[in-house]
Structure 1
Amino acid sequence: MDWVGDVGRGEWLRERLDVRWRNMHSAVPHGFEAFARVFHPVTIDRPAGTGTWSGPNRGFASGIDYRSVPWARVAEVGGTTMHPLAQFGRLNRGVPNEYNELVDADGWRYSEPAVGTLDVAALAAVAAHLAAHTGTPDAGIAAVWEGWGGLVSGTGVSVIMVSDDEAADRASDRETEAGEARLRQAALAAMVETDDARGPGLLPADVSSGARLRLPGRDYVLFDAGVRRFVDPAWLTDAPWTDSTWPQSPNLIWPDDHAWVLVSEIDFDSTVIAGSRALVDALVADPTIEVLELREGADLTSEGDTVNRPPH
């Protein structure tokens, strides 16, 4: 997945995007036969030991069970309606527990879906359909928003562990101290090894300072990547824009024949695909991913979800 300095390969998108924000088309290009919305999976969890998040002993030390569920399940728990323009904040209207968390009758706690990135498994399923609906499945572009922390700058990502269990807290503190010591040693070693070719972030210096595809409100770094690469989760080991801290998916993917475009806009908790009628039908019919068809001009803001308006 080599860096692409020829940003002209993405200029075809510019004329298809709205400059002003009115609907999804400031991020999703016009000019396609149909549009599909891939809902980013929702993570649910509960303590493995107690099976409940209620009460003073929330069971952190017993381990946590995790699952991914569709938005339709959130609507079922919240007593709301799942539909193409659904917004998670309006679906998620169940009665919260004492910690202001949505927990269902079986003890599962619901987290918000990821924003600006499509998880590896869902991307693999989507990519298989995309590869089948282009004449150039092995030639195309993966574009990543330049503003992700640590990509072209030294700004990184920190992880904070929270626990209600004192013993677990003490153990976590010891692990944190040891981890910080290892990080300091690694940073010192990296400083010694640094040369002019390295950039301040994940990307090399020539890429960090190189050309950007400038679209309305967003600037992107381009990489050579046929969509078929993303069918295999091993793409994570080859992608120069990601590391083990956070498996960021491309924010844009398109094939060289421009048969479709995938958009994981940085502020969306879903991914939109513009393409042919056959492609959208195939995506909607796939039971392994949650996909609904969108009309052109769809409003994906919270105000677009008129079905689940909050009660006054």
Structure 2
Amino acid sequence: MQLSHVSPTAGQWIINACASADPLTVTAQVPVGYERYVRILHPALDEDDQQVTWAAVAASRNHILTAADLFETVAGLDSAGNPVAEDAWVDTDLPLDELPENLWNQLAQHLIKATAGQKFIAGLWAGYAFIEGGERIQIELEPDASLSEEENQAAYQTALAQAQKPAFSSEDLAQGALELGGGYRNYHLFEVDAAFIANPLWAQTAEGEQRQRPSLAFAADHSWMLSTEPYDDCTIVGGPAALIDAILRDPSLEAIEVGEFTRIGHSN
């Protein structure tokens, strides 16, 4: 499995292509010019942590799901997840802010097939605390009854220092992040292979394996691109018709085709 930092200049083409796009349209995330685009909807979770599709929520309210809908519109909720309609769907949390692992693995197979042995560039959102470590990371450690207060404090400080270690070297972090604007849209870029795309593992830290899904990814030749905005309810892919068709036909993925200028959140 390959994972190597690359300069944020590897994503400059995205900045250039999206600079003049309407910030509410698909092409503010995935550049204009791809043959087709698709929006993959992130499931919500019910009380038993089972995945719930948007279609199930829409059907419960006789809502016709459109390409531009936000989950809140479908469910009759406000942006905080509070009901604003009498028939609001209240049996789940808001959708996950990334595709769950099982759905990512399925999507990755389509991306790998469309890439024909090329390398990939994958972006990790720069806001994860484990990347740089430091004081943002705090831990709890149960005192050991067999140790003195001083010994417990020393054990805590040792564990805290381990947890606060950065996941990546200072040389890698010095390259900086790709800045796409909008406050949260900052990503560390890596060259990765198909094995990584299929099963991402960014780092092994004191908190365990860091397996966040890439927030953006693209083939080395830019033939397709994927984007999941921080805290968003969907993943958008632009690419050739064969790739988009494969995603739309996959019964495990809840996907809906969008246009270059679809304005997400403006369905009415």
1:93 corresponds to 2:60: no
Structure 2 gap ranges (5+)? 145-151
- Aligned mate of 2:190, from 223, 226, 235: 223
1:248 corresponds to 2:212: yes
Q: Distance in 2 between matches of 1:260 and 1:206?
A: 29
Alignment partner of 2:247: what SS? helix
Kept in 2: contact 1:131–1:228 (CA 8 A): no
Q: Measured at CA, do residues 295 and 157 of structure 1 come closer, stay the same or move farther in structure 2, by a change above 3 Å?
A: farther
Kept in 2: contact 1:226–1:255 (CA 8 A): no
Q: Measured at CA, do residues 184 and 44 of structure 1 come closer, stay the same or move farther in structure 2, by a change above 3 Å?
A: farther
The answer to which of 205-214 and 75-84 deviates more is 205-214
1:210 corresponds to 2:175: yes
Kept in 2: contact 1:143–1:223 (CA 8 A): yes
Structure 1 gap ranges (5+)? 46-64, 159-176, 307-312
Q: Measured at CA, do residues 78 and 5 of structure 1 come closer, stay the same or move farther in structure 2, by a change above 3 Å?
A: same
- Aligned mate of 1:109, from 91, 96, 110: 91
1:305 corresponds to 2:260: no
Q: Distance in 1 between matches of 2:138 and 2:229?
A: 20
Q: Which residue of 1 aligns with 2:19?
A: 18
TM-score (norm 2): 0.79
Q: Distance in 2 between matches of 1:219 and 1:17?
A: 15
Q: Which residue of 2 aligns with 1:151?
A: 131
Q: Distance in 1 between matches of 2:138 and 2:71?
A: 25
Alignment partner of 1:66: what SS? coil
Kept in 2: contact 1:16–1:31 (CA 8 A): no
Q: Measured at CA, do residues 110 and 186 of structure 1 come closer, stay the same or move farther in structure 2, by a change above 3 Å?
A: farther
Q: Distance in 1 between matches of 2:154 and 2:244?
A: 50
Equivalent residue letter for 1:145: W
Aligned length: 249
The answer to which of 124-133 and 1-10 deviates more is 1-10
RMSD of Structure 2 on Structure 1 (CA): 3.3
- Aligned mate of 2:122, from 142, 159, 163: 142
Deviations 1:173-200 (A, max 9, x none): xxxx8x5548977652246669xxxx75
Equivalent residue letter for 1:226: D
Matches within 5 A, 1:1-312: 1-19=2-20, 21-45=23-47, 65-93=48-76, 109-115=91-97, 117-137=98-118, 139-154=119-134, 155-156=136-137, 180-181=142-143, 187-190=156-159, 201-217=166-182, 218-231=185-198, 233=199, 235-236=200-201, 239-240=202-203, 244=208, 247-300=211-264, 302=265, 304-306=266-268
Q: Distance in 2 between matches of 1:241 and 1:28?
A: 30
Q: Measured at CA, do residues 101 and 181 of structure 1 come closer, stay the same or move farther in structure 2, by a change above 3 Å?
A: farther
Deviations 1:219-247 (A, max 9, x none): 2111121244333x4x33xx228864874
Q: Distance in 2 between matches of 1:186 and 1:254?
A: 44
Q: Distance in 2 between matches of 1:37 and 1:157?
A: 36
Q: Distance in 2 between matches of 1:157 and 1:118?
A: 27
Q: Distance in 2 between matches of 1:184 and 1:83?
A: 56
Kept in 2: contact 1:18–1:25 (CA 8 A): no
Q: Which residue of 2 aligns with 1:174?
A: none
Equivalent residue letter for 1:43: L
Give percent identity, aligned residues only: 24
TM-score (norm 1): 0.69
Q: Measured at CA, do residues 88 and 157 of structure 1 come closer, stay the same or move farther in structure 2, by a change above 3 Å?
A: farther
Per the TM alignment, residue 79 of structure 1 is displaced from its structure 2 partner at its CA by: 2.9
Per the TM alignment, residue 144 of structure 1 is displaced from its structure 2 partner at its CA by: 1.2
Kept in 2: contact 1:151–1:241 (CA 8 A): no
Q: Distance in 2 between matches of 1:277 and 1:87?
A: 25
